[in-house]
Amino acid sequence: MQAIVETLFDAVYLISVITIGILMIRGSKGQAQFRLFGWMAVVLGAGDSFHLVPRALALCTTGLENYTVALGLGKWITSVTMTVFYILLYYVWRKRYAVQGKNGLTAAIYLLAGVRIALCMLPQSQWLSADAPLSWGIWRNIPFALLGLVIIVLFFRSAKEHGDKAFRWMWLTIVLSFGFYIPVVLWADTIPLIGMLMIPKTCAYVWTVLIGYSAMKQEV
């Protein structure tokens, strides 16, 4: 039952976000913020597919324990693409609110993203092992969480200052995504049921994408 439900959910998610992303890229009509948002959605869906497709195959065939390498490689790729996702979201913020300068902020975004990716690349993460150390899972997610926190603050402040109703909940979608993701990182290996939090986390990302798509339909 888990295999069927989870596979269907993941298939709908991946098809939806990638399709919306393509529609935004094609329908942005020269507006950079929506074109960036479209690429952001495509990166989200394409990156997650590297983990979710092997997981679906594992659940529907011989089990997760027989797909350790494929699942680990998928998580590795997804960790990098999610970092790129937040860099693109930062530039969506800059374009939407016509932000100029702030070179220090941009440098901080790239520094946090660079540290995150560098930590993901170190062999100590042991992505392809069935017994990957929890400590490295925590270390590589510290700069990622800080990156997310910066984006949360930026969207919260800017949407409020500009009275931006279309993007007024963008900050909340990111808060929810991290709120559901962090317990999975910390405790999913010891309490497998906590892994179910990835479902509402995924829904939070879908909400993020829908905010951008809805705004484009209203403004373009």
Contact 195, 188 (CB under 8 A): yes
For the chain, what is the domain count? Answer: 1
CA angle 32, 181, 203 (to 5 degrees): 60
What CATH number has the domain bearing residue 93? 1.20.1070.10
Confidence class for position 64, pLDDT limits 50, 70, 90: confident
Tens digits of residue pLDDT in 169-192: 999 999 999 999 999 888 887 887
What is the reported pTM?
0.94
Tell me the pLDDT tens digit for each residue of 122-154.
999 999 988 888 899 999 999 999 999 999 999
For 75-118, how does the pLDDT look when each residue is reduced to its tens digit (9 = 90+)?
Answer: 999 999 999 999 999 999 999 999 999 999 999 999 999 999 99
pLDDT at 39 over 90: yes
State the Cα–Cα distance between residues 155 and 163, nearest whole angstrom. Answer: 11
- Tally the residues of the chain: 220
Domain containing residue 64? 2-219
User: Tokens 């990957």 appear where?
Assistant: 132
